[in-house]
Structure 1
Amino acid sequence: MTRAVLTAFLLFLSLTLFAETTRAVVRAHAKDAKFIGTGIGGAYVVIRNDLTGEILAKGLTTGASGNTELIMNTAIKRNDRLTDDQTAKFIGIVDIDEPVFVTIEVTAPVNRKNAAIKVSTQVWLIPGKHIEGDGIVLEVPGFILDVLAPQTHQVIPSASLKDNKVLIKANLVMMCGCAISKGGTWNSEDIEVKAIVKLEGKKLAEVPLHITDQTNVFEGTLDASAKGNYELQLYAYDRKTGNTGVDKVNFVIQ
């Protein structure tokens, strides 16, 4: 065994002997809602050494969104748990032999690219000193908003329209997938949903959308008497919480 190989082996052995396994629980909490878990595709977590950029742990949060009554309707005192064993989390497991300053980055909900938000925080990880319980909780603001109609690049014959009206339809949920309904825990009456419509690049109208009898589904109608290329940018806005969401489609009336 050469001197260089022996030195490398001894260095590796020393790091292995003195490193301690350290666990860090990370959770993504939808603002004004519950935790982001398996039901909505999870949040993607990366724990990175802030100095070197080395990724120490990565993976998805898995589990349930949590107890609605506890999270939304219960006054939480200091040291009270907001989560239980089933609540969505990612457990980062790292082997370190000295304190490491890390950046923890969460992208959520990872499967919804038009709605995914990236948030981060920084903490010291100390060998053998686990961060458990509720763990490190990162708040993820926003809504998941999907335009259902018109469809992307849908070509609509003007002759097929009744009274020149085009249905605008959208699905809106909280970032954890929690349902929005009239008078519900997440009340549609608190959320402004509106479509900004352009025709050939120029603003044509703003169309308010209202909740239907179907949970999460909002509808409105556009007066589209002119033919041409339309752009529809839909937004949702909650004045009380500051949550926002946007989706956009283009369609054609000919």
Structure 2
Amino acid sequence: MSLAIATARLLLLCCTVLTPLPCLAIPAEGEPFSDLRLNDPQPTTILVRVVGHGAMVLGREVGSARVTITDVGTKQILATGIQQGEAGDQNQIMRTPRLMEEPHYSSRPAATFTATFDLLHPTLVEVTAEGPLAYPASSQRASTTVWLVPGQDMTNDGIVLHLYGYIVQIEYPQSGEPLIAKDDVILRAVVRTLSGALVRPHGDWDSRKIHIYGELMIGERVLERLQLFYNNDRSSFEAPFFVPLSNDAPDGITLRVVAADPSSGNFGVGKAKYPVLTERLPPKKP
């Protein structure tokens, strides 16, 4: 190869390397902010939904849920209030398949808590929820921390807080009702999700997959475990039991109903106490 040809090839290679290429960088954001008043407060909306884990949204039927938003840095409460609306569309929430990025609760109207703040800078907040408010014995609490960025609204599903548990109510005998020793009594209890939907066989919340049982207690000692059966006419779980002697239960008895679903992490307990009276004797014949 001649010196002239080698020199020409070297010059061609240098030109190729030094030629500027078009910029292939991708912008970090889709669209620039239209408002250039960077040091003015920006209205920022946050939407919060409180839902029963594996169930619906906590709405009016169960007294809804209280939501509190607190500035993590200053500990100042920025907003607090009650989630407003209904439990949502059961078919859409429980039975409709969807992609991860698709809304789960907002495709149809469902209860929400909404607040708008005028923010100067990104703010770390704690969002806390407590409910269902109509069932304080079954009330649960959950919280999370999120950044609020000025002008960037959190809409669609918003911040979703999951409350774990069941509403377990002993309907009969009513709490505090005196029971007669040796009587045969039917324990009747209703189990619902925290959003208020009934737990029953073959439903969206299938009781066959949940451990539901009763316990007869004297003090803290379990005297008997009761196997509960579903009564479709009353939409309740029932089991018979014998009231112990008043001498054996001078301070009365306690009935406890447990609903436990380890696979979902939902657990609920209902309790009621009863005084025990001496057994009824047949009237004496004259």
Quote the offset at 1:201 in angstroms.
4.5
SS of the residue corresponding to residue 202 of structure 2 reads: coil
Kindly indicate whether residue 194 of structure 2 is the aligned counterpart of residue 175 of structure 1: yes
User: What residue is the counterpart of 2:206 in the other structure?
Assistant: 187
SS of the residue corresponding to residue 18 of structure 1 reads: coil
User: What residue is the counterpart of 1:3 in the other structure?
Assistant: none
* Count of residues paired in the alignment: 234
More strand by share: 1
Would you say the 8 A contact 2:89–2:108 is kept in 1?
no
SS of the residue corresponding to residue 61 of structure 2 reads: helix
Structure 1: gaps spanning 5 or more residues: 1-16
User: What residue is the counterpart of 1:43 in the other structure?
Assistant: 65
Identity of aligned residues (%): 26
Quote the offset at 1:85 in angstroms.
5.2
User: What residue is the counterpart of 2:42 in the other structure?
Assistant: 20
Are residues 214 and 54 of structure 1, via their aligned partners in 2, closer, same or farther at CA, if it must alter by over 3 Å? farther
Quote the offset at 1:215 in angstroms.
5.7
Task: State the distance in 1 between where 2:144 and 2:220 align.
Answer: 40
- Aligned Cα root-mean-square deviation (Å): 1.7
Task: State the distance in 1 between where 2:254 and 2:162 align.
Answer: 32
TM-score (norm 1): 0.86
TM-score (norm 2): 0.77
2:161 counterpart (138, 148, 154): 138
1:117 counterpart (140, 145, 161): 140
Would you say the 8 A contact 1:231–1:249 is kept in 2?
yes
Task: State the distance in 2 between where 1:98 and 1:225 align.
Answer: 66
User: What residue is the counterpart of 1:64 in the other structure?
Assistant: 86
Task: State the distance in 1 between where 2:146 and 2:220 align.
Answer: 46
Are residues 155 and 138 of structure 1, via their aligned partners in 2, closer, same or farther at CA, if it must alter by over 3 Å? same
Task: State the distance in 2 between where 1:212 and 1:89 align.
Answer: 34
Task: State the distance in 2 between where 1:175 and 1:78 align.
Answer: 24
Q: Which has the larger radius of gyration?
A: 2
The 5 Å alignment of 1:1-254 reads: 18-82=40-104, 83-84=106-107, 86-158=109-181, 164-214=183-233, 216-227=235-246, 228=249, 229-254=252-277
Deviates more, 1:183-192 or 1:138-147: 183-192
Structure 2: gaps spanning 5 or more residues: 1-38, 278-286
